[in-house]
Structure 1
Amino acid sequence: MSKLISVLVLYLCFDLAHQYRGQSRSIADKEWDFLIFTQQWPSSMCKVWTHNKPKHHCVFPKKADSWTVHGIWPTKKGTKGPFNCNTTWLFDPEQVRPIESELEQAWTNIEKETSLYNLWAHEWNKHGTCAAMIEPLNSQLKYFSKGIDFLNQYHMNDILTSANIVPSDTNPVKAEEVSATVASKIGVRPFIACEFEDGVQYLIELRVCFDKQLNLKECEGEHEVNGVLTNCNIAKNIIYPTALPPANLQIVQLHKFINWLQWFTL
């Protein structure tokens, strides 16, 4: 009998240790070191969305020449992610209803053929649930409100225009100038993201990093070329394309209503 009890005790200890190791790995998998705040240029995003896709169309904010939020991404140094830290805490449009009109302009879903809430749902489910480990971002309303706050505080329109870096389909920009301009205004270098379409290199995103206290910091672990954090080929022209005209407001409102019905009837 005593041997049986001993075996049971050993089994229980082993099982508890296994569960603890699993929980520890699970917690470690959700840890992150800093946040990447990403702004996107709608005209470039539209070119990517519609490239070789004639049925794809774009939705722009009312101010079409405005950078918009792509996301706030918790990141562990030397890797990507974590992602999807709580698969039971899904995006709920009702949680951001108080700021929805602001989000439509500041955090615009360019992809017209998708749900109005598609981008927000993706960003919250994948990134927001991980960012929620810190108090300033621990709800959907806080997470998306902070994105709007960051955009207003570090708006790339104002920063680039101050150095006469403006959209043009013919006059390329230099990554070195973009980097130096942003750094001179906010004190840290941005990560400059480009995308090639039909052999043309477009400026598509600008990213800046924050620590867990939401203080600006240098982005770590990013590709660096000649002192510039970028994935762009700095030896080739970089086009910062002219802002496209905003979509017809009535069409946008109809699109919004249809997508609201889709979410409401889920």
Structure 2
Amino acid sequence: MTKWGTPSFLISLTLMLSLALVTLANNNGDFHYFYFVQQWLGSYCDQNGEKCCYPPTGKPGPEFSIYGLWPYYNDGSFPYNCGGGNFDEALLKPMQDRLRKEWPSFTCPQIGRKFWVHEWNKHGTCSKSALGEIAYFQAALNLKNRVNVLHALTSAGIRPNNQLYPLKSVKEAIAKTTGFHPWVVCNRNSQGTSQIWQVAVCVDKSGTRLINCPFIPKGPGDCQDQIKFPSF
């Protein structure tokens, strides 16, 4: 038997084909649900080693802002950079003022609309089987109106006053208002204190209905039992 028919070659070929199929599956544009993610600017600007720049409109009010609308699979993996959906800024002009207010960028140097381009190219293109460009951004804006994280927290006495709060209480306050348990992501400030940064809820493929999260990721953004809510 030639080397092309050896068991070791067949095993290697099988592995390569399996990896290729996994890559294709992760970028084919299909998905099961969205994570709708909001961030607290006070934590973004207070994290260790990070600078923030305000948009041309100046420092925004003390509110959670949209960070992304990300398609996911039920097992916690996600598609990305699916292509085939060129960003057309002209389509967003009717909602541009709202996007500037609700979905701003705070990176340095200030990138403005490039943040929307990035989010559409990386995440939106993988949801275009359900939502086109206009529908994708409109869904995020509509969800922002429905999921008022700051109101949920302050109603429970959890305020952005640089104090520590139990992570459990933060999650329960958001769940009480939305009806669904959130995914809370923390970062660390220069003193190494865990602080609330991002809050995500799960949404069905239509981008309209909140659902129970099939999977809550674990990783560097895990929070400690007591987390800081920085002032802004």
| TM-score calculated relative to the size of structure 2 | 0.80
Larger radius of gyration: 1
CA-atom RMSD, angstroms? 2.5
Matched, 1:186 2:178: yes
Q: Distance in 2 between matches of 1:40 and 1:150?
A: 14
Q: Distance in 2 between matches of 1:29 and 1:203?
A: 33
* 1:93-108 to 2 correspondences below 5 Å: 93-108=89-104
- Could you give the per-residue CA deviations for residues 210-255 of structure 1, whole angstroms, max 9, x where no partner exists? 122432111122158xxxxx82122xx3111101xxxxxxxxxxxx
Matching residue of 2:42: 43
* 1:11-160 to 2 correspondences below 5 Å: 25=24, 29-48=28-47, 51-52=48-49, 56-59=51-54, 63-86=60-83, 88-134=84-130, 137-138=131-132, 140-160=133-153
CA 1:193–1:52: 2 relative to 1, 3 Å: closer
Q: Distance in 2 between matches of 1:175 and 1:81?
A: 26
The more displaced of 57-66 and 141-150 is 57-66
2:26–2:79: 8 Å Cα contact kept in structure 1? no
Unaligned runs of 5+ in 1: 1-20, 225-229, 244-266
Please tell me the residue identity of whatever aligns with 2:223: C
Unaligned runs of 5+ in 2: 1-19
Q: Distance in 2 between matches of 1:82 and 1:67?
A: 26
2:26–2:80: 8 Å Cα contact kept in structure 1? no
- Could you give the per-residue CA deviations for residues 73-107 of structure 1, whole angstroms, max 9, x where no partner exists? 00012233200112x42323222111111111100
CA 1:27–1:202: 2 relative to 1, 3 Å: closer
Matched, 1:233 2:224: yes
1:41 Cα deviation after fit = 0.5
Aligned length: 207
1:112 Cα deviation after fit = 4.1
CA 1:149–1:62: 2 relative to 1, 3 Å: farther
1:114 Cα deviation after fit = 3.3
Helix, strand or coil at the partner of 1:176: helix
Matching residue of 2:17: none
CA 1:197–1:231: 2 relative to 1, 3 Å: same
CA 1:223–1:233: 2 relative to 1, 3 Å: farther
The more displaced of 120-129 and 211-220 is 211-220
Please tell me the residue identity of whatever aligns with 1:217: I
Q: Distance in 2 between matches of 1:26 and 1:173?
A: 40
Please tell me the residue identity of whatever aligns with 1:195: N
CA 1:223–1:52: 2 relative to 1, 3 Å: closer
1:46–1:111: 8 Å Cα contact kept in structure 2? no
Matched, 1:215 2:202: no
1:57–1:112: 8 Å Cα contact kept in structure 2? yes
Q: Distance in 2 between matches of 1:242 and 1:219?
A: 29
Matching residue of 2:231: 242
Matching residue of 2:156: 163
Q: Distance in 1 between matches of 2:85 and 2:182?
A: 31
Helix, strand or coil at the partner of 2:214: coil
1:90–1:121: 8 Å Cα contact kept in structure 2? no
Q: Relative to total residues, which structure has the larger helix share, 1 or 2?
A: 1
| TM-score calculated relative to the size of structure 1 | 0.70
1:31 Cα deviation after fit = 1.8
